[in-house]
Amino acid sequence: MSGNTTTDKAITIRNLVVDYGPRRILNGINLEIPNGQIMVIMGQSGAGKSTLLRCILGLKKPTSGSIHMLGTDIATASRTDIYKARKQIGVAFQGGALFSSMTVAENIQLALHEHTNLDEKTIQIMTRIKLDMVNMLEAENLMPSELSGGMAKRAALARAIIMDPKLLFFDEPSSGLDPSTAAELDQLILTLKKGMGMTIVVVTHELDSIFKIADHIAVMKDGNLIETGTPQQIIASTNPEIQGMLNRKPRETIVDTDAHLRRLTGGF
Amino acid sequence: MECNVTSESGFDLIKLSGEVDLQFSPQLREKILGCLKAGHPLLIDLAKVSYIDSSGIASLVEGFQTAKTSKLQYGLLNISSTAMQVLTLTRLDKIFDLYSSTDQFKQKLQ
């Protein structure tokens, strides 16, 4: 399942600008995503990660700049060309985005029924292969409402890879998951990269996950790409904003309860 | 994808080359099921397969199940590293009978 590649970059983004009215959301992003590797786009809420992802997926036309993805300039391509490019990509959305009226298997098969003329038996076997990859074979007949958060994410991943995409996008894979389930999902992402040769773009702010899976990291802040590099380069960065993000600590455990109560009530 | 079927002594041999993907896997499926329907043991040579997607793997799996039901020998020959990677990922490397020569398969038929 590792398709041929003609260039060493799956995605090349040049001078990407997105304005919403008077607000500049992305401010001249330049980014290259190498083939067959995992690129993590990190940054806090409001950094512009989701807008960047929407632009790459062709869901948002940028104000200016270019995005070359698997040979297509997404920023200027026609709807037909964007549609063709989309057939080569898989997207696992944050909340799973499974259709609630369909079983897990039906959700996963949807693209095959829509875009191919494969025999029903082939479709069934492909579905079960993908369910097995995400360790959910036993859940094929469950409805989305019967799934835990981790299972819904894995089902969304199975749906995203059903057509063996060259490029997989994963939006916040670990958010809302307990540490052990998040670690399982990280491992699964690594396995997909190794076994299927996929280029994987993960958008997240979960530090634990980032340093487990990333080959490259792009750090965003306030619509700007403030640093790119390998995990080692990012850790060694002297940029105080990067260090601020990396050293972010959980909220302090309350030690002085009286002081905290006073802070909340104003001490009346 | 190229898919050539030859009749060997006591079995059919399918030689595949190129990319086995969504576009070509229906053709592969048809050839596999055709050989098995004719009641012939089947060996599939994957040495020259540069890429196989899960629709191609699904066709191989369906063939394997059909052969098992029909009590026919069925094997994969000269698995390329690309194809092996996919079989390993899907844990099918433990299920298929894998061969490194046609002679090995012939011995199994005896």
What is the maximal distance between C-alpha atoms in chain B? Answer: 37
At A250, the pLDDT band (50, 70, 90 cuts) reads: very low
Cα–Cα nearest to A17, from A239, A159, A158, A225: A225
* pLDDT score at A6: 45
pLDDT (tens digit per residue) in B33-44: 999 999 999 999
So where are chain A's domains?
A: 9-235
pLDDT (tens digit per residue) in A119-128: 999 999 999 9
Cα distances (angstroms) measured from residue A171 to each of A218, A248, B29: 14, 21, 35
Count of CB atoms within 10 A of residue A62's CB?
Answer: 24
User: Domains in chain B, start-ordered, CATH in brackets?
Assistant: 2-105 (3.30.750.24)
Distance from CA of A101 to the nearest CA of B (A): 26
Compute the distance between CA of residue A90 and CA of residue A110 in angstroms, rounded to an integer.
Answer: 13
Count of CB atoms within 10 A of residue A8's CB?
Answer: 10
Cα–Cα nearest to A90, from A169, A1, A192, A2: A169
A258/B contact by beta carbon, under 8 A: no
Compute the distance between CA of residue B87 and CA of residue A6 in angstroms, rounded to an integer.
Answer: 25
- Token pair, residue A122, equals 């082939």
* pLDDT score at A253: 58
The mean of the pLDDT values for chain A is: 87
Compute the distance between CA of residue A25 and CA of residue A47 in angstroms, rounded to an integer.
Answer: 8
Q: What is the ipTM of this complex?
A: 0.91
Q: Which CATH architecture has domain A9-235?
A: 3-Layer(aba) Sandwich (3.40)
DSSP-based three-state secondary structure for B103? helix
Which residue's structure tokens are 């844990």?
Answer: B91
At A255, the pLDDT band (50, 70, 90 cuts) reads: low
- Give the type of residue at A50: S
pLDDT (tens digit per residue) in B61-72: 999 999 999 999
The number of C-beta contacts closer than 8 angstroms across A and B is 68
* pLDDT score at A218: 96
The answer to which of A27-41, A187-201, B37-51 has the lowest mean pLDDT is: A187-201
A187/B contact by beta carbon, under 8 A: no
